[in-house]
Chains A and B, each alone.
Chain A
Amino acid sequence: MRAMYLANYFVAGCIASSFLGWVASLHPMAFRAVLCLLVAIAITWGLSWLLDFSLSKLLKISVADL
């Protein structure tokens, strides 16, 4: 059941990304907006990956609990 739960959330993420693509296909401005959103998400993810220990100290959270 736990695998089902994880698989469903994974599929939901996939559909959400498709939805973003659909939104991007509506208008060139929407495409740029989605692109900017994706770039922002990628930058945030990369920075979090690189600065995880620094951020965890700053936010006073334990990496092991994440």
Chain B
Amino acid sequence: MQLKLFVLSASSVVLWLTPLVALDKTLDIHKALQGVSLGAAIACAVTAGNIAREQAEQNDIEEIKTRAITADVVDEIATTAYISQQQRQQEAEQILATDERIDEQEVELNSIKESLELLLNQTNSDSSSLAVVNLSTRQREQIELILQCHAKGISGKNKILKEVWGVSAGSSQAYRNAKAEYEYLMPFIKEEEGG
């Protein structure tokens, strides 16, 4: 199309100027040729002008299309950037929320720890009564018997072992077990006697 445009433009100029310069005005045939040439030159120039105008309009349309595509691409990039920013913000908010949850859990754990420490202190202070509660029935009976021995005036360890456990002093295993059990029960007996 551009070749046609250039050929028509050049032809119009040549058909316009060449007959005017080269041909003789006095000859009728030359004069007629000049008129025909000028008419053809006008036709060539107008056709070339129309083609150039169409090309210019198409170029404008292409430019508008390019601008629209560029705007679409820019818009898409901006949208993507906006979405990724939103995602980052959401992730940051989630991380912050997790931190807050961890803080809450730490506070809860601390309160549980404090409660357990309080309970432990209370347990230590009430350890004897709790231990009494945890004694077996046989041990309770043994304590009762030892207390009865004390009431009767029997106070020696070996005598009590003989009365309650039925073992004589020596190196037998039964004596050693009875002695260990008696020593274990001694604090409770003192408490019973004191309380």
Contacts and interface: CB of A to CB of B under 8 A. Distances in A.
Contacts, number: 62
A22 interface: yes
A4 B20 contact: no
A42 interface: no
Interface stretch (B37-45, B91-99, B176-184): B37-45
Contact of A1 (B12, B20, B59): B59
B5 interface: yes
A60 interface: no
A49 interface: no
A18 B52 contact: no
B48 interface: yes
A18 B9 contact: no
Contacts of A56: none
B38 A22 contact: yes
Interface in B24-72: 25, 31, 34-35, 38-39, 41-42, 45-46, 48-49, 52-53, 55-56, 59
A12 interface: yes
Contact of A5 (B8, B12, B16, B53): B53
A36 to B, nearest CB: 20
Nearest to B19: A22
Chain A interface main SS type: helix
Interface string A14-43: 111011001101100000000000000000
Bin the interface of chain A by size: 10 to 19
A22 B35 CA distance: 7
Bin the interface of chain B by size: 20 to 34
B12 A4 contact: no
A27 to B, nearest CB: 11
A4 B12 CA distance: 13
Given A4-B52, A5-B53, A8-B45, A15 B12 contact: yes
A15 B38 contact: yes
A23 B38 CA distance: 11
30 contacts: A1-B52, A1-B55, A1-B56, A1-B59, A2-B52, A2-B56, A4-B48, A4-B52, A4-B55, A4-B56, A5-B49, A5-B52, A5-B53, A7-B9, A8-B12, A8-B46, A8-B49, A9-B45, A9-B49, A11-B12, A11-B16, A11-B45, A12-B46, A16-B42, A18-B16, A19-B38, A22-B31, A22-B34, A23-B35, A25-B31
